[in-house]
Structure 1
Amino acid sequence: MLRKILPREECAKCRICCSFDSYDLWETPVIPTKLASRILQDYRPEQEFIKKDDYFLFKMEKEPDIDLYYCSMLDQESGCTLGDDKPFDCKIWPFRIMALNDTRVITLSTVCPIVQKKPLEDIQAVAKELAPEIFKYADENPGSVKPYLSGYPIMVVEDKKYKDTLI
């Protein structure tokens, strides 16, 4: 989905998006019910989830002696064990869908070291290209829309009056 700005090989080496400290646990991927069932059936029957409204979050254990939580689907040797079934949040990272007041926006997580090296106009072009799919997913999965957090650069603003128009 993001190959134009994030080559698979570079992503696989980094894995910064698969770890969270206490401050950014809010960024853990939203897991729709259907995907949670598939994970339990096809990938990891012992996986525990945290129930939030009509979706789930992975239950992750804090690493000993460090404020760090790794995604439970991460294999340190081979990467994400979910392959193409990874959560939508993971598929679009470093983009995030957020709510700024009454407007949905697509933002950018600037902690991605690969994205930090890319021209902003290239990143924004990819965000605009993906926007219809991201906003459609958000329509179907409102729990995936997180409150806007100051400091996240806004790449795309959804125009409520003309949903297909991006500014």
Structure 2
Amino acid sequence: MLSSILSKNTCAACKFCCSFRRQSLWETPLFPPEVAEKLSRPNEYGVVGEFAPASDGAQDAFRLVLENNYRTAAPEEEVPCTFLDPQKGCILKGEDKPFDCSIWPLRIMDKGGKLVIALTPTCPSIGAVPNQALIDLVKNGLGEKIFEYTKTHPYIVKEYREGFPIVYF
């Protein structure tokens, strides 16, 4: 969705958003039940993921379980997404890729009861400050698409965190 300002090659070379430290597991993308079911058994990708209900046993979204992949107790250790190919990037097709991944480094967040679209300030390719091209992309249709998706998939809304610049509300 961001290909007009962020090339797939740039993302595939970086892979920053596809690796998680323990303290960033809250950012692990969520999968709809039917996709989690498909990816939790042998599938066309040749990779099987482990999934758990997103929160409190809710069945409307599932998170990829990565906790068992850490090899040390070091807080800086990163574990890649199960579906990340080190050379090619994400192996998932669009219909199986989490919406969170499709809009990265944008996040839809709840800030005091109001939904906002914010930039994840740690994206090495976009940077910590939204540029005009990103703002224009969000204001010219992508923002509404994100808000629409949220209506039927409210689980993608993250709690707002300080330091995430708001791009659209």
TM-score by length of 2: 0.85
Tell me the residue number matched to 2:53. Answer: 51
Match of 1:92 among 97, 100, 103: 103
CA apart distance, 1:56 = 0.3
Most deviating of 133-142 and 45-54: 45-54
Task: Give the paired residue count.
Answer: 157
Matches within 5 A, 1:16-95: 16-40=16-40, 42=43, 43=45, 46-52=48-54, 53=58, 54-60=60-66, 61-65=68-72, 66=74, 67-84=77-94, 85-95=96-106
Unpaired segments of 5 or more residues in structure 2? none
- 8 Å Cα contact 1:5-1:122 kept in structure 2: yes
User: Which of the two has greater helix per residue?
Assistant: 1
The 3-state SS of whatever aligns with 1:24 is: helix
Distance 2:3 2:33 in 1: 27
Computed over aligned residues only, the root mean square deviation of the Cα atoms, in angstroms, reads: 1.9
TM-score by length of 1: 0.85
Tell me the residue number matched to 1:137. Answer: 149
Q: Deviations over 1:13-67 (max 9, x none)?
A: 0000101112211010011112212323534574211212221000113432342
- 8 Å Cα contact 1:95-1:127 kept in structure 2: no
Specify the code of the residue in structure 1 equivalent to 2:157: V
Percent identity, aligned pairs only, is 38
Q: Deviations over 1:114-163 (max 9, x none)?
A: 11298622111112230111011111111110111111000011xxxxxx
Distance 1:45 1:19 in 2: 17
